Amino acid sequence: MKSIIKNLAVAGFTLGALNAWGVQFDRSVPQDIQKQMSDDLQFIGQMSGNGQTKLHQEIFGTVDGSVYDKFFNSRINSVGMNGCGNPNAVACVIPMAGSHKMWLTSNFIRFSHPQVARMMVVYHESRHSEVDHGNWPHDNCPDPYLDENGKDIASIWTGAKVAGNPACDSTPMGSYGSSTIMLKNIAKFCTNCSDKVKMDANIYSDDQLNRIDVPSVKQSMKDDFDGK
């Protein structure tokens, strides 16, 4: 047993650093980020709601903290630090390194965003853990890729332009689609969220909807949010 513990320590794990969700943090993850993520997961886990859209029901179930806990717990069991092979990346799942491990980049740490936005990233990556769906790979965004005002669509997190990069989805079921659906439902149905949380959820879900690059799919998501 001692040799196993020693090998784990050498591999970079913070032994005993399991939070309430059973997530193991590597030693490379700063202590304040470990606490922040644990607090964020607790925040999500305490949510309650009074409804959900059809797409949310299909992907997650009801708007409820226990449902979100189960979704996350069944997909991610450890968190580490990695560059993710892209200077603009915020987080990633690297299937070759294990589909149930989430990697954070320095961009996750150095940019300040609201709590519900940080959870948007976490649940986005949780979706990438699903091996039975090929880890829900992204497709390349159109190039150029402009919004309705003719401006370049860029990451709300880093400000980097996404045109021509694998930063879009063509389905509502992938990582961008599912995290957008989650946030929009929190904004619409959460009964114990503050007005600030609902506002942030709306702002970030509206932004993430731009990552859906098929107009008909984007419209179907809007219709879902409107209860059509």
E strands, the chain, are: 13-18, 24-26, 78-81, 91-92, 101-104
The percent of residues above 90 in pLDDT, for the chain, comes to 89
Beta bridge partners of 104: 81, 91
Q: What digits encode the pLDDT tens for the residues 114-151?
A: 999 999 999 999 999 999 999 999 999 999 999 989 99
Q: How far apart, in whole angstroms, are the C-alpha atoms of residue 45 and residue 135?
A: 24
Residue 12 confidence (pLDDT) above 80: no
At residue 48, what are phi and psi to the nearest 5 degrees?
-135, 150
Amino acid letter, 51:
G
Beta bridge partners of 161: 154
What's the pTM value of the predicted model, to 2 decimals?
0.90
Residue 68 confidence (pLDDT) above 50: yes
Q: Calculate mean pLDDT across residues 216-222.
A: 98
Amino acid letter, 106:
S
At residue 91, what are phi and psi to the nearest 5 degrees?
-165, 170
CA geometry: angle 17, 14, 103, nearest 5 deg: 95
